[in-house]
Amino acid sequence: MKYQSYILTINEYFSEGGTNSVAAKQKAYMGSLDSSNVNSIFGQMTRNEVYPFIWYRPDWPDAKQGQSLLQNLIIEYNPKQGEVTPYNGQYPTGSEVVLYAQAKDGYRFAGWEGDVTGTEPSITITMDEDKIIQAVFEPIEYAPPAQKIADWELTQEAINGQISDLSANTHTATAVGNVTFESGMGARFDGSDGYLSVADADSLDMQEPTTISVWIWPMGATPFAKLVVKPYAAYASPWEMYAIDLGSGGDTPRFIVTDGIAGGNIAVAANSDVKLQTGQWYYIVAVYDGESILLYLDGSLIAQESVPFQIGTNDEPLCIGGRMGLNTFDGYICDVKIYQGAFTPEQVSGAFSRDRNGGLAGHWLFERPYTTEVMDAVSGQKAELVDQPEWGEGWAAEYFVRLDSGQQAVQIPMDGSTAEAGTIGLWVQPEKVSDTETASALQLLFGHAVNSDDNRITLYTVESTDAEGNTVHKLALGLGDNAALKDNIAQLTPGQLYHIALTWDRTTYAVFVDGVRRDAGTFSGLAALEAFADVGNFGSASGRAYASGFRGLVDEVRLYRRALGADEIERLFLTHTVNENRSIEFVVSGYDQAGNRISYTAAKLPDGATFDELTQTFSWRPDLYNTAGNYEVVFAAADQPEQTVTIAVRDVPLAGWYFAFLEQRGLH
């Protein structure tokens, strides 16, 4: 007798005597089938389920020659560098399987090796035999060019009309004409005659490979508005040595270089299909690599042109925002940087990822539970979960971590923020320390260089009791050279969620709780930032040994490289982040001046969202498909100002095999 292993899928009801016969209870069967028991076995099976069994075929000449109906697929890859779907498994002989490789931030997919080869991330294989396939990922080099030539942040008021260069080269910019500065936005040019002038220097001539980057917020369209320009002496041909401008319509980015000779050579990189809109940020990067010029918008290449000549030089100043009183930009400009060396495409996209969202350097959402690392949603930087904090589900049905030993922490990289200015924002829910626990009354919410003499950033709480004898945590701050700069900033009640934010700007600081500024003042300033800091502890292994870490829940940590304004902090507090196909729920709570609870109504609810006016609870589960974006929900009450809460829905990428599955069925 010859036997062969099979997998049987029941797709239809079996009919016996013209009557459907299916048992209500599912039952798998493994054994031998013959004419005497096949009907009784099938009668116990349920449609659309999978059953293993042994089939007897008396006509098989040799069991070893019988073809297996299943083939093994083994996928090998480094999970720290990327992911492959679907996973290892067994597939029916002759079936097609769509593999999809997706690199993690900081890596690219290099190709397939083993029983299949190719470089496309999505590939279809036929399971005609067992297969072992390797997915190869390789790191992307984000190393900066050799030297930063100049760096003007432009988010601070000019001192005596001058703006400092944050690089080591002291290329000071001087405001000329009508230029104002707004914290959180940048230098404001009104399209009339204002500009910034930087004295000529050899390093500002484009004789070697160079990269220039600039953030702009257009508010109007000035023909040929100059963003960054090294002008020709006269307002005539060739007009400039090099320039980033917005073309004749004032809305199309261009990168222009000339040989500096009237009627001479010129190269222009521009894409006429690209039109900028007013009222939003754009990131423009111009690259000269020695042979050609390349123009990037928001991290993507939009134009390039060869440069078969030497770019001209002169003694004119570099201008930002206009050409010496002419062709003045209408809008905001910030973070103008010039580098020695040509950025690669990966460096441009990496810089855009780090700098977008108004200087957001890191955003850790705790959305992949039960891991030892948390991926930064901005540029892929990893935060390490120290000493195995617990995972759980948070207030918005999202994941969080719980620190409870005093030695645990979420160690975040400080790369991207600066000692000159920055913002740290986080959601926390403190816990009461029980009488049976031996824990410090002082608990670190955020720690950077805590034990240094002049470089600390410390947010901490001190456990105490209020007038009614209830346990509270008093929020305090240490900054710069002062370990106890301010105490009792706010009282945090155990079991309640709070949004805490700290901003610093050279020698000024501000602390916010739930979007409201609770303290502000001056301090000594910071010398330099360490590579890492701790959410929930000291920032170092030696400091964590004191067991003075925070005890409670931590969720959604943000790090900025500038000091956010009060209105921006309020928007952070009023913005809730959720992934597609994940639930979000929160209670709206407010009190009038007499202490009476305010009852709100909700407007502009997204499709599928609800607001229970009795419990004042907002609930929503965004769909899985095409719901990513920002949704503004307006809460209103009689005789009270409206409050707008933003729901930021993040896109959930679908695996390539799932896209193929949907497309085959006409669903995608």
pLDDT in tens, 222-239: 999 999 999 998 888 899
**Which pair of structure tokens corresponds to residue 268?**
């222009």
Percent above pLDDT 70 for the chain = 81
Q: How much is the pLDDT for 438?
A: 47
Residue 624 has phi, psi (to 5 degrees) of -75, -30
DSSP state of 491: E
What's the pLDDT at 377? 74
| 150-to-33, 171, 180, 316, 338 alpha-carbon distances in Å | 80, 6, 21, 17, 5
Q: Tell me: pLDDT of 264 over 70.
A: yes
Round to whole Å and give the CA distance between 561 and 488: 27
Q: Highest mean pLDDT range out of 21-25, 322-326, 621-625?
A: 322-326
The pLDDT assigned to 563 comes to 83
**Which CATH entry fits the domain spanning 358-572: 3.40.50.300, 3.40.309.10, 3.10.310.40, 2.60.120.200?**
2.60.120.200
**Per-residue b/e over 73-106, b at no fewer than 16 CB within 10 Å?**
bebebeeebbbbeeeeeebeeeeebbbbbbbbeb
Q: What percent of the chain has pLDDT over 90?
A: 44
Phi, then psi, of 301 in degrees rounded to 5 = -70, 130
pLDDT of residue 23: 30
> Most confidently modeled of 555-564, 613-622, 628-637?
613-622
Q: What are 443's strand-pairing partners? A: 461
pLDDT tops 90 at residue 428: yes
Are domains 358-572 and 576-650 of this chain identical in fold? no
Average pLDDT, the chain: 81
- 147-343: which CATH topology? Jelly Rolls (2.60.120)
Residue 273 has pLDDT above 90, yes or no: yes
User: For residue 120, is pLDDT > 90?
Assistant: no
Q: In this structure, are residues 659 and 668 in contact, taking their beta carbons and an 8 Å threshold?
A: yes
C-alpha span between 414 and 449 (Å, rounded): 12
* Backbone dihedral angles phi then psi of residue 187, each to the nearest 5 degrees: -80, 130
End-to-end CA distance of the chain: 49
Q: Would the pLDDT of 289 be above 80?
A: yes
Query: Is the pLDDT reported for residue 484 higher than 80?
Result: yes
pLDDT at 576: 80
pLDDT of residue 648: 82
What is the per-residue pLDDT for 565? 78
Burial of 345 (0-12, 13-18, 19+ CB in 10 A): middle
Secondary structure element (H or E) that encloses residue 460, with its range? strand 456-465
Strand positions, DSSP E, 81-183: 82-85, 89-92, 96-103, 107-114, 122-126, 131-139, 147-152, 162-163, 173-176, 179-182
**For residues 624-637, average pLDDT:** 83
pTM of the model: 0.51
- Rounded CA separation 289/269 (Å): 13
Which range of 306-320, 407-421, 484-498, 514-528 scores highest in mean pLDDT? It is 306-320
* CA distances from residue 260 to 91, 160, 284, 306 in whole angstroms, order as listed: 66, 33, 24, 17
Closest by Cα among 633, 573, 587 to 609: 633
Mean pLDDT across 642-660: 73
User: Tens digits of per-residue pLDDT, 17-36?
Assistant: 333 333 322 223 333 334 44
pLDDT tens per residue across span 164-212: 888 888 899 999 999 998 765 789 999 999 999 999 999 999 999 999 9
Q: What is the mean pLDDT of residues 286-301?
A: 94
How would you class 276 by CB atoms within 10 Å of its CB: exposed for 0-12, middle for 13-18, buried for 19 or more?
A: buried
- Enter the DSSP assignment of 65: G
Query: Residue 491: beta bridge partners?
Result: 474
C-alpha closest to that of 379 among 33, 663, 665, 106: 106
Question: Which pLDDT score is estimated for 433?
Answer: 65
Mean pLDDT of 284-296: 96
Per-residue pLDDT band at 397 (split at 50, 70, 90): low
Q: What is the mean pLDDT of residues 482-511?
A: 91
User: pLDDT category, 39, cuts 50, 70, 90?
Assistant: very low
Residue pair 427/556 in contact (Cβ under 8 Å)? The answer is yes
| pLDDT (0 to 100) of residue 32 | 36
What is the CATH topology of the domain spanning 576-650?
A: Immunoglobulin-like (2.60.40)
**Does the structure show a pLDDT above 50 at 643?**
yes
Q: Are 146 and 176 in contact (CB under 8 A)?
A: no
**CA-CA-CA-CA torsion for 326, 330, 335, 339, nearest 10 degrees?**
-40
pLDDT, average across residues 460-469: 85
Query: pLDDT by residue (tens digit) across 136-163?
Result: 988 765 444 447 899 998 877 777 889 9
Q: What is the mean pLDDT of residues 491-511?
A: 91
Residues 6+ apart with CB under 8 A from 270: 247, 252, 253, 254, 255, 295, 303
Of residues 128 and 565, more confidently modeled: 128
Domain boundaries, the chain: 3-65, 70-139, 147-343, 358-572, 576-650
Closest among 360, 501, 359, 376 to 426, alpha carbons compared = 501
CA distance to 69, 108, 465, 652, per residue, from 261 (Å): 75, 43, 77, 53
Predicted confidence (pLDDT) at residue 113 exceeds the cutoff of 90: yes
**Cβ atoms 647, 630 nearer than 8 A:** yes
